Structure 1
């Protein structure tokens, strides 16, 4: 994408966001403060992340409609998530739509189909990643900053001379949309939240690009591009299951939520911290891609082990404070 094209797209997306904000205010599409959101006494526009689907639509048209199955899955996820933003849907419907969407994504990858039981595991893993990404959207700036790091890293990998990935406008368009969204969300008092439509659409785009990159490099190591989110979301879900809580209900047990509630850190400080840690991990992963299988495995073990250790130590201290 040319600089002129990026500026034009950003201008169009700003106009779309302003229009959406007016429509959302008119119809009362606002986020009701709860334990998960870490906001109190505020009614903020929900669903501002619809920009990410719009950016993907522009990329889809620009590509000549070459990844129709991916875009169909993305649209399914976006529609179901937006409906959930408007009026909470039963989790069975949401999970069913996520599984179908991930199936379309896998078909789009045009990779030799593995055994049926492997496909089943991939569907569950894909749906799990989508929902974990969504669970982490609870404070101002975290979705914007963290996704800028993840999408930016994946975009960088497509620009390398040795890359065999198809270079199109999906990732740069998403990056521009994230910059626009950051203006409205990454502030002390957000104008709008991404909503499920935003975080789920982003997760689906990231999952597609990540799967393409792992197939290209023939390694699972790039999954560490989601390591910080993965550890916080995964261990928190495990804690809630241990407590026999409904993991789909609002809560305040994520580490980033405790930092806001217990330590009273500003939202943007926590979001920046998470993003910077992920930047460091991503740089390490990019270096480790040329290492042996043993070296890559040890890298993954050390990174995940350190993240888990920090998570447990800090969380225990916060919960006992």
Structure 2
């Protein structure tokens, strides 16, 4: 009954937001980087911080004791991201808030107590890099929602059947938010896009859960629960560096962009393929006893080769 009530609240919240976004012209206009061609409401991903607020209301005492630092970090990064959706902010302002949010996230996960101090800068770089990867990959209908849904369901399974590392509702609530968001976004003509508030919000939540899991188990292999995004972004940035391009400028070099823009493959098909690939990796990851470097050798060297081969073939065909 609780989950049905949460879904109803989230549906009402996003419908109210649509009215506000329409009134104040919070929209996403297509540009040279976009894979869409029509003006669409932006910021539908506000449902993710709303889901956390609802989580707090249903779990008030526990939130005050256990989740206050995570909540402050999430709301800070979502607030600055929403403002950036409406009005472009300087990189210094955004990065400053991101750093504060990551500090709060690491405090929440216990990383400052469980890891040596010399690893903290590495954790900062990895988390901020992963947050930006989430943002980079949020370019077509369904991608952010269904990819996050698969990762969260994998985490829920691990929490229930492998090792309990957090409260069950702390994973279920973002899953419900993904389902509601997908209802409006997983369409040929999306009702809304996630915006930075969505990609950063759900990315922060997923990264927080994975970091909690790693701190609880000491198994760094769980980083690979986001490996498809990681591989795509790392290989694309490497390509742009080799081509001497400004990696901070908008572009259309991601493989999913080539499939969507040049081959005109359905956004929903592309998003589903990415999610299924990550799901298969997650299944192997959960049940395998191999160390992380063996998993990388078995899966990601061949997968990286396939990725580069497909990209080279598309670029050659379309003279990119």
Q: What's the TM-score bracket when you normalise by the shorter of the two chains?
A: over 0.9
Deviations 1:8-51 (A, max 9, x none): 111111111111001101100000112333112x1100000000
Q: Distance in 2 between matches of 1:240 and 1:95?
A: 22
Report the CA distance between 1:72 and its aligned residue.
0.7
Q: Distance in 1 between matches of 2:303 and 2:76?
A: 33
Q: Distance in 1 between matches of 2:16 and 2:248?
A: 31
In the alignment, does 2:52 pair up with 1:56?
A: yes
SS of 1:75's equivalent in the other structure is: helix
When structure 1 is superposed on structure 2, of 95-104 and 311-320 the one drifting more is 95-104
When structure 1 is superposed on structure 2, of 97-106 and 183-192 the one drifting more is 97-106
* Corresponding residue number in structure 2 for 1:314: 310
SS of 1:67's equivalent in the other structure is: helix
* Corresponding residue number in structure 2 for 1:20: 17
SS of 1:159's equivalent in the other structure is: helix
Within a 5 Å distance, the mapping from 1:296-307 to structure 2 comes to: 296-307=292-303
SS of 2:211's equivalent in the other structure is: helix
Deviations 1:129-160 (A, max 9, x none): 00011110000011111111011111111112
Within a 5 Å distance, the mapping from 1:39-54 to structure 2 comes to: 39-40=36-37, 42-54=38-50
Q: Distance in 2 between matches of 1:87 and 1:241?
A: 29
Judge conservation of contact 1:165–1:212 (CA < 8 Å) in 2: yes
Judge conservation of contact 2:78–2:200 (CA < 8 Å) in 1: yes
Instruction: Check 1:242–1:89 CA distance in 2 against 1; reply closer, same or farther (3 A cut).
Output: farther
* Corresponding residue number in structure 2 for 1:141: 142
Instruction: Check 1:240–1:211 CA distance in 2 against 1; reply closer, same or farther (3 A cut).
Output: same
When structure 1 is superposed on structure 2, of 104-113 and 67-76 the one drifting more is 104-113
Judge conservation of contact 1:38–1:139 (CA < 8 Å) in 2: yes
Q: Which runs of 5+ in 1 are unaligned?
A: none
Judge conservation of contact 1:252–1:258 (CA < 8 Å) in 2: yes
* Corresponding residue number in structure 1 for 2:2: 5
Instruction: Check 1:61–1:241 CA distance in 2 against 1; reply closer, same or farther (3 A cut).
Output: farther
Report the CA distance between 1:115 and its aligned residue.
4.0
Deviations 1:214-234 (A, max 9, x none): 122211111111111111111
Deviations 1:41-75 (A, max 9, x none): x1100000000111112223433222111111111
Judge conservation of contact 1:221–1:300 (CA < 8 Å) in 2: no
When structure 1 is superposed on structure 2, of 243-252 and 26-35 the one drifting more is 243-252
Within a 5 Å distance, the mapping from 1:132-281 to structure 2 comes to: 132-160=133-161, 162-281=162-281
Judge conservation of contact 2:30–2:36 (CA < 8 Å) in 1: yes
Q: Distance in 1 between matches of 2:35 and 2:155?
A: 30
Report the CA distance between 1:247 and its aligned residue.
2.6
Q: Distance in 2 between matches of 1:183 and 1:70?
A: 27
Q: Distance in 2 between matches of 1:208 and 1:102?
A: 9
Report the CA distance between 1:97 and its aligned residue.
1.5
Q: Distance in 2 between matches of 1:37 and 1:301?
A: 34
Query: How many aligned positions are there?
Result: 312
Q: Distance in 2 between matches of 1:273 and 1:182?
A: 16
Query: What is the alpha-carbon root mean square deviation over aligned residues?
Result: 1.4
Judge conservation of contact 1:153–1:282 (CA < 8 Å) in 2: yes
